[in-house]
Copies of this chain bind each other. A is one copy, B any other.
Amino acid sequence: MKFRYHLVILLAFFIVGISRPTQGQKTTVTASAQTPLQRVQAYRKAHETTLMNEYWQFLAIPNVSADSVNIRRNAAFILQMMQQRGIPAQLLDGTRPGITPAVFGEVRVPGATKTLTFYAHYDGQPVNPKQWAEGLEPFKPVFITAPVEQGGTIVTTYKAGEFIDPSWRLAGRGSADDKAGVMTILNAYDALVKSNIKLTANLKFFFEGEEEVGSTHLGDIFQKHQDKLKSDLWIIADGPRHVSGKKLVQFGVRGDVNLYLTVFGPKRPLHSGNYGNWAPNPAQRLVSLLASMKDDEGRVLIEGFYDDVTPLTDREKQAMAAVPNMEAALKKELGIARPDGGGASFMDLMMIPTLNINGLQSANVGAMAGNIIPTKAEAVLDLRMVRGNEVSRQIERVKDHIRSRGYHIIDREPTDAERQQHPKLIMIKAATGYNAQRTSMDLPIAQEVIKAVQTTSADPIVLLPSAGGSLPLYLFEKVLKANVVSVPVVNYDNNQHAENENVKVQYLWEGIDMMAAIMLIR
């Protein structure tokens, strides 16, 4: 790992040296032989324990979206980080009170012709501490030697200020998704400034606090602060790098919406012997309904589910063809004998909509299970959408399917009269969702980003027309009329959204490199 790291630096030196012949000279004040990237790296190396201590403190602040008190503590911490770096910063609210504010900062550079805005989000997915491995807690970050699922153990010997092995991972909610974005963006800026590298573009920073709950008020914040948020390009630091470990620029994301389903059974839990065969079991009803939605290969059977998909352009298809095929390695790592998709490639499957069961629950399992007919059965569905899909239309298709199975749909607990009237009753609640987004790879500024990220990598970087994951990037197009690309920072095996979330230290350092390189776009 160490050898490879040095190789990257040497190659980066070579590449930057060729592609930016004048810049090295212009910005060289104290270290004439070094490229900006080398100087950023040197600065980071000299300060990495300080950076890590600050990040550690940041991760220790609980950031579940619904926890409004702690969410604001996170915002305050970021404000402080920005102020310490000399970035004029403020909280941005929306038009309605009580929303989680975004943290915004702006650095104007005399003579700059372009404005770049760097985005990350500081809220995290809900946590169930019981599901985390022993010794790991969502909001008590620790270093681990490797993912716990691969036998990693906690580094108990580490003391603040000591050398941090870049192969370690820092475990905690938000360590990867997406405080890593905040950390690398602000430290990239700081490294540039502290290394006396001349900035060439106006820089803005926007850190959202409601991403994991569907960015409910992002559009509202955008509306209210349209002028302040004007820029030529938004750079999104979120999501994982390519599974191959390669650096990645993404030009789109899937849209996303959650559906919460509850099928109702008897009004009280019934003894499974005394009522078994007679009282309908809501868990049986739910499994039958969910089973009807997909075939054995994972293809969605809901009518019209794939109808609206906009086909990829030729350039997008070419980019897709160049993406390294990681399926064999993934299958092995994840313990998958045969993927879904009936033989379609991993990348092709990311370019079509999904219907995923996020969770299922009815009564209890394991030692807590009783011999009962439960009163209800719940499922949470995740629908990913691609360019061409429209959230409400996609939801309506799912509902139509459910109706076609004989269900009466309500959006709250049923009344007694409804229970008497409808043999099949289901409550469906939809979270706020959003559509997919895709930026053209042909834009000159998109090509600039590709070049900048490539300077930090000896390997060819990966270019993706769309991520599998989601962000409400359609809002950037729709409200701000802005271009947007994603430059993910973290390792793909980060357990984001789940227990034992972690970020590889090396990826944080490389994230600082990438963000710094992009900040120097002219």
Contacts and interface: CB of A to CB of B under 8 A. Distances in A.
A467 B357 CA distance: 38
Interface string A261-291: 0001011111111111111110110111011
A520 to B, nearest CB: 29
Interface stretch (A29-37, A162-170, A418-426): A418-426
The list of the 8 closest CB pairs from A to B, nearest first, reads A335-B419, A273-B469, A269-B498, A291-B291, A276-B354, A277-B349, A338-B423, A283-B357
Contact of A279 (B336, B492, B497): B336
Interface stretch (A16-24, A50-58, A309-317, A379-387): A379-387
Contacts of A338: 280, 423
B370 A497 contact: yes
Contact of A468 (B256, B273, B360): B273
Given A270-B498, A279-B336, A332-B420, 17 more contacts: A66-B367, A260-B369, A264-B335, A267-B334, A268-B493, A271-B469, A273-B382, A274-B492, A276-B382, A278-B350, A280-B339, A287-B357, A335-B416, A358-B363, A358-B371, A360-B362, A364-B380
Given A66-B367, A367-B126, A291 B280 contact: no
B335 A469 contact: no
Contacts of A419: 335-337
A137 interface: no
A372 B275 CA distance: 35
Contact of A422 (B337, B366, B374): B337
A377 interface: yes
A361 interface: yes
Given A336-B419, A373-B356, A384 B266 contact: no
Contacts of A117: none
A499 interface: yes
A521 to B, nearest CB: 27
Contacts of A465: none
A514 to B, nearest CB: 19
Contacts of A258: 369, 371
A359 B365 contact: yes
Contacts of A354: 272-273, 276-277
A273 B256 contact: yes
A374 B356 CA distance: 10
A470 interface: yes
A87 interface: no
A360 B365 contact: yes
Interface stretch (A220-228, A292-300, A473-481, A503-511): A292-300
A341 interface: yes
Given A360-B363, A419-B336, A368 B267 contact: no
A116 B294 CA distance: 58
A369 B364 contact: no
Interface in A342-361: 346, 349-350, 352, 354, 356-361
A61 to B, nearest CB: 19
A437 interface: no
Contacts of A336: 266, 279-280, 419
B256 A360 contact: no
28 contacts: A126-B370, A149-B267, A240-B274, A264-B335, A269-B499, A270-B498, A272-B358, A273-B468, A273-B470, A274-B468, A277-B350, A278-B350, A280-B298, A283-B290, A283-B357, A288-B291, A288-B296, A331-B420, A335-B414, A335-B420, A357-B362, A358-B365, A358-B374, A359-B369, A360-B361, A365-B379, A365-B380, A372-B497
A170 to B, nearest CB: 17
Given A290-B284, A365-B380, A419-B335, A358 B372 contact: yes
Interface in A322-339: 331-339
A105 interface: no
B281 A356 contact: yes
A136 to B, nearest CB: 13
A506 to B, nearest CB: 20
Contact of A380 (B339, B366, B500): B366
Contacts of A374: 357-359
Nearest to A332: B420
Contact of A370 (B125, B291, B423): B125
A313 to B, nearest CB: 21
B384 A272 contact: yes
